[in-house]
Structure 1
Amino acid sequence: METGDLILRYYCEGEGDRRIRDLLEEIKGKLGISYEIIGGPYNELRDKEVYERNFKPRAGLLKRRTGRSIRELRSRSGHYFVSVPGTIAVIKNGLVEWWTLGNEDIIAFLKEVLKGGREYILKLIGD
């Protein structure tokens, strides 16, 4: 893949936010960066599997890169919320390299990707 196996993966409830889907499509068209949307009805078991498999093993690295704890993807009572209110992750070679949470933060990130291109993402992930 031309973009070095970079994928933007959007975890959301239902179809997610239309603005985010439109930005992902624009990024794909202009920059050639693929995306995946993992949507559908909220499913805590699925969110737990995603958290445990994709985020938890990389918690330290992700905290250093984003300044955010992956604990934000869980409630105080221990429930898992990767898809609610929405999370976007930068995936490279199958691994989560960076993430942010919430529609407004996701939209701001995607607009920066459109401005800065692939180089912006690579800077975020230290590549």
Structure 2
Amino acid sequence: MAGLGGSLERSIMEALWAAPGPLRVRELLDGLNEKAAKPLAYNTVQTVTERLAQKGMLRRTPDGQAFRYSPTQAREEYAARLMLDALTDAPDHGAILARFAESVPAEDARHLLDALRRRAAGGGPGA
């Protein structure tokens, strides 16, 4: 799975995950520039957005003479896939999972434990 290569890719994805619907590059640029110390150029955002579409991270939908862009997966799905990719590359899954569980804040550990209990009871993905 392709990952996010740089801070602008991450910023674009975060903006699109937070958006109520697909955005044109101009709308995306306006939102990014509201928070930027140095304004971004339209062509820069368009190029990076196209790169994300080629990676399969964004879907582009024609809208007149332009395109609207939206994420192909939710933020949570993306993060879970990154975690699974990292786990797949390691020889000792148990040690990594244990270290992860010990490293997360207590509230997150409770969420993880609840999800594992649901899965074990036959109510979660892959059950």
TM-score class, shorter-chain normalisation, is under 0.3
Which structure has greater helix proportion?
2
Higher relative contact order (CA 8 A, sep 6+): 1
TM-score where L is the length of structure 2: 0.25
Larger Rg: 2
TM-score where L is the length of structure 1: 0.25
Which structure has greater strand proportion?
1
